[in-house]
Amino acid sequence: MKSIRITTPAKKETYDISFHENFEALASALKAQVGDRKLVLVTDENVHRKTEFLKQYFKDLAAELVVLKPGETEKNWSSIDTILKAGFENGLDRGSVFVAVGGGVVGDMTGFAASIFMRGVPFIQVPTTLLGMVDASIGGKTGIDCEYGKNLIGAIQQPEAVMVCNDFLETLPDLEIKNGIAEMVKHGVVSSEKHFKDLEALATKDWPVVREEILGLAPASMNIKKTIVEADEKEAGQRKFLNFGHTFGHAIELCSNFEIPHGRAVAIGCVMAANYAAERELCDWDLVDRLENIFNQFEVDLTCDIAEEDIWKAMGTDKKKFGSELTLILPKKIGKVDYFNVTL
């Protein structure tokens, strides 16, 4: 079993992203990781219904199960309440553990519930989407959305372990693979021209090949996130770079009432941010072309009929705004971004 080790210097926490060959191997590794602790396992209806993992191995895990409704609109207090109640009603205590088996939505919420349950208990991430594997399960950002904006309520708490199994991707719809690719492209723009070029090369291939081979590039993407999170767990500096495409993207998600999913909104947001930068001569137009091109080749839908004015208005609620100043992460070249303060 291969693994990637993450160490956050501030709190000296260490955890592994481990890779498991199949569901059977994942189930036995998860069982060993949990040990004799009580656990609540959180998932959503799609993962529960579509993937064989819970169907076949749930009994072995001796967990209490919480099955949430799927989707970003469920990322709210009511779901947190459901997770916490399952903890209390099943006698979990400070020595217990929560396990998220799902995409970024389930992962963010389970982590947040764990961070406030009896002032904080450990949690384990088992990401079931590509986006969850390469991005959301790593780095300890947890939380929920509220009427004031996305991810505005939350905590930073690192998971105890991240356990990855590619078998989950077999049931994942193409659109969800594309949402994950959007975050991988973002990682390339933020810090690795090589990763971006590898993705560009893959983008020229037919979709079935892309679907198959994208997994080969996932560890590189995870390593980019790992390096940034290790250097700046609390987002005092360079972790902000990972928000490239997200200030626009979160606003697009909000304005579309979450009909545009996170990954696709980030892709549109990356292109908007790149256009904004090129218009101000902060980067070449060639970068904008490459970015549009790679998303088009991967067939990530960049259409967005929301008025730009509405997107800017929604950006006013973004967490990255202090007073009337908004910090935008803009590209300088592929592999390098920087922050720029914009007055609204």
Ligand X SMILES: NC(=O)c1ccc[n+]([C@@H]2O[C@H](COP(=O)([O-])OP(=O)(O)OC[C@H]3O[C@@H](n4cnc5c(N)ncnc54)[C@H](O)[C@@H]3O)[C@@H](O)[C@H]2O)c1
What are the residues binding ligand X (CB under 6 A)? 44, 46-47, 50-51, 70-72, 75, 102-106, 108, 128-129, 131-132, 135-136, 139, 141, 151, 168, 171-172, 176, 179, 262-263
The two most distant CA atoms of the chain are separated, in Å, by 59
What are the residues facing 342 on neighbouring strands?
A: 326
Respond yes or no: is residue 195 known to be catalytic: no
Q: ∠ at Cα 187 (329, 283), nearest 5°?
A: 45
Catalytic residue among 48, 233, 243, 320: 243
Structure token digits, residue 319: 């967490």
Residue 280 is a catalytic residue: no
**Catalytic site residue 321?**
no
Token pair of 32 as six digits: 């060993």
Dig out the tokens for 278 from the structure: 């090129």
Q: Least distance (Å) from ligand X to the CB of residue 74?
A: 8
- For residue 215, give the H/E element and its range: helix 207-231
CB of 168: closest distance to ligand X in angstroms? 4
Q: What are the backbone angles phi and psi of residue 343, rounded to the nearest 5°?
A: -90, 130
Nearer to ligand X, 90 or 166 (CB): 166
Q: Which is nearer to ligand X, 50 or 313 (CB)?
A: 50
Closest distance of CB 69 from ligand X, Å: 9
CB nearer to ligand X: pick between 273 and 278? 273
**141: annotated active-site residue:** yes
Which residue is at the shortest CB distance from ligand X?
104
Nearer to ligand X, 127 or 278 (CB): 127
187 is annotated as an active-site residue: no
Tell me how far apart the alpha carbons of residues 220 and 185 are, in angstroms, rounded to a whole number: 11
CB 256 within 8 A of CB 301: no
**Exactly one of 64, 72, 160, 183 is catalytic; which is it?**
183
**From 186, 211, 250, 319, active-site residue:** 250
- In the complex, the smallest distance separating the C-beta of residue 36 from ligand X, rounded to whole angstroms, is 28
Structure tokens at 304: 């967005």
Report how far Cα 193 is from the mean position of its chain's Cα atoms: 21
> Is there a catalytic annotation at residue 5?
no
Torsion angles phi and psi, residue 317, rounded to 5: -95, 0
Q: How far is the CB of 330 from ligand X (least distance, A)?
A: 19
Query: Which residue in 75, 178, 186, 246 is the catalytic one?
Result: 246
- Does residue 89 carry a catalytic annotation? no
CA dist 317 and 301 (Å) reads: 25
Instruction: Select 63 or 133, whichever has its Cβ closest to ligand X.
Output: 133
Q: Which two tokens stand for residue 196?
A: 């971006």
Active-site annotation holds for 290: no
Tell me, yes or no, if 225 is annotated catalytic: yes
Dist. CA 106–CA 68, nearest whole Å: 8
Catalytic (active-site) positions: 119, 141, 183, 225, 235, 239, 243, 246, 250, 262
